[in-house]
Amino acid sequence: MLKLKEGLKEGGRVVAGGWLASKRVQGDIAFLVLFESGKELQVTIKGDNKRLLEKAEKIREHSSLIVEGTIHLTEKAPRGYEIYPTKIRIVSPAKKIPPFHVYGGNLPSIDKRLDIRAVDLRRVKAMAIFKLRHLLLKSCREFLSKRGFIEVQTSKIISSATEGGAALFPIMYYDKEAFLAQSPQLYKEQLIMAFEKVFEIGPIFRAEPFRTLRHLSEAFSLDVEQAFVDYREIMDLLEELVKYVLTEIANEGKEELKDLRYELEIPEGPIPRITYDQAIEILQGKGIEVNWGDDLGTKELEVLGSEMNGYYFITDWPLSLKPFYIMPKGRLSESFDLMYKDLELSSGGTRIHRKSLLVKRLKEQGLKPKGFDYHLRVFDYGMPPHAGFGLGIDRFMMVITGVNNIREVVLYPRDVRRLIP
């Protein structure tokens, strides 16, 4: 909270509320740094104010304060001004000291920090991560809105699997069993019938008991779908989106990137595209035992990632490795993954828009078309050709911030072991 009663001018009266990040008492002068609205605000107590100096000595870091005083303009303070206080109220004293420092230093395990996540988020680096996350989402919305996409919200409570498989969380829905949606895939495909270009930013739920640094049970995804385009055009769109948001973040997130001591990498020129077949050749050339038709696992992606470096697409995957709704292309498919080194960021492709082919593919993947009645029936009403992708927001955040654990970029991560806070 900050109230500049007479604007920002020398001697102007000010009231500020914030929490104490650091305290330095040097002889007869004390510097308190408050965080107000996520930014540093310096309060300087001078020696002639004995009463406030004594009070300042007793305040624990993290306590919430309301400071009244006057403005002193100075280039030495973080905001270009400091407050000379006349009154300091400790509105909520900190009773405990967290096991980490706001400005860095040694960090305890992420588990210890997540137990008091709201306090952990007061660390400068954590704040920077979530400000960048805000920027990322804002610029995704900007980019897609400018291109004529509309943002949609689809239900996260569903009656059956979107993509088959057992990776669903069952829930009780009144007297019936229902599930948490693993992706908005089928809904976004339906919505292009009316809207042509849609996107959704929302949670996806995966009951895959992974214990990795890149999987969560609840992740965030940017889902995009567009009518009358194929996978190549949608790949172009994704490439432009990636470059746009990275450029925006580099410009608007300078301070935060500096806090993270991280150099953002913006791909220059086109993002390389290799086919799955080429990826297999590269891997075999490196002596990796991998056969055509195998999925690319951790080891394969590590080798490929060090070979390709940076961002790249892997296109034209074997049909058998992709979900039923992906358009076949002989034994291949019109599909792609966007990678950053060994990390998968996005999967996308051309979708099947002919009902008979969709039914055939469902059966080939051992799924019962009956269970997809609610979806298949709209295909009788002139479903246009379409394509799209899902981009993992948390995964993209890992690349943007350079952290290696996905839990660092999610406020309240959910994994096999963690359901609180």
The yes or no reply on residue 314 touching ligand ATP (CB under 6 A) is no
Q: Which two tokens stand for residue 50?
A: 């004995």
State the binding partner of 219 from Mg ion, ligand ATP, none, CB within 5 to 8 A by kind. ligand ATP
* Total residues at interface with Mg ion (CB under 5 A): 1
By the rule CB under 6 A, 215 interacts with ligand ATP: yes
Taking CA atoms, 52 is separated from 22, 40, 84, 391, in Å, by 16, 20, 11, 52
Q: Contacts with ligand ATP in 392-421 (CB under 6 A)?
A: 392, 394-395
Stretch in the footprint of ligand ATP (CB under 6 A) among 151-159, 224-232, 255-263, 345-353: 345-353
Nearer to Mg ion, 30 or 204 (CB): 204
Select from 53-61, 215-223, 263-271, 355-363 the region that touches ligand ATP (CB under 6 A). 215-223
Residue 44 interacting with ligand ATP (CB under 6 A): no
Q: Taking CB under 6 A as the rule, does residue 221 contact ligand ATP?
A: yes
C-alpha span between 216 and 410 (Å, rounded): 9
**What is the crossing angle of helices 298-308 and 276-285, to 10°?**
90
255 in Cβ contact with 311 (< 8 Å): no
Does 206 participate in binding ligand ATP (rule CB under 6 A)? yes
Four-residue CA torsion sign, 186, 188, 192, 196: negative
Q: Residue 222 interacts with ligand ATP (CB under 6 A)?
A: no
Min separation Cβ 309 and Mg ion, Å: 20
The residues that bridge with 206 in the sheet, in sequence order, are: none
What is the C-alpha to C-alpha distance for residues 384 and 82, in angstroms, rounded to an integer? Answer: 61
- Cβ neighbors of 79 (< 8 A, separation 6 or more) are 39, 40, 41, 42
Choose between 183 and 190: whose C-beta lies nearer to ligand ATP.
Answer: 183
CB-based contacts of 295, cutoff 8 Å, min separation 6: 321
In the shown chain, the binding pattern of residues 341 to 360 toward Mg ion, with x for contact by CB under 5 A and - for none, equals: ------x-------------
Query: Which phi and psi (to 5°) does residue 217 adopt?
Result: -75, -30
Supply the DSSP symbol for 140: H
Which entry of Mg ion, ligand ATP, none binds 302, CB below 5 to 8 A by partner kind? none
Positions that interact with ligand ATP (CB under 6 A): 206, 215-216, 219, 221, 344-347, 390, 392, 394-395
